[in-house]
């Protein structure tokens, strides 16, 4: 889960769409995959740099009683 702005929460699948590695690092403006170097936009998960050709899959989230709930990756 990321928070690109105050009160603006977003979640994406943790699995890279290239070959399924788990993305690891979140930098200033990108989420990075350690396996082959793909990078994804923090705000919407779109591809910034390949080899991935599609972005991270958005995950729904809900805020209930002040808690953020995100379904687990399958």
Interface contacts to ligand FES, rule CB under 6 A = 16, 18-19, 21, 33, 35-38, 51-52
Round to whole Å and give the CA distance between 18 and 34.
12
Nearest-5° Cα angle at 73, 24 to 8: 70
Closer CB to ligand FES, 51 or 71, in the complex? 51
Nearer to ligand FES, 9 or 21 (CB): 21
Question: At closest approach, how far in Å is the CB of 68 from ligand FES?
Answer: 25
Q: Which is nearer to ligand FES, 9 or 35 (CB)?
A: 35
Helix (H) or strand (E) holding 63: strand 62-64
């Amino acid at each position: 889960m990321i928070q690109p702005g105050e009160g603006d929460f977003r979640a994406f699948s943790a699995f890279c769409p290239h070959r399924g590695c788990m993305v690891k690092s979140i930098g200033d403006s990108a989420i990075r995959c350690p396996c082959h170097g793909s990078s994804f936009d923090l705000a919407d998960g779109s591809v910034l740099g390949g080899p991935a050709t599609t972005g991270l899959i958005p995950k729904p989230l809900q805020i209930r009683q002040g808690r953020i709930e995100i379904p687990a990756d399958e």
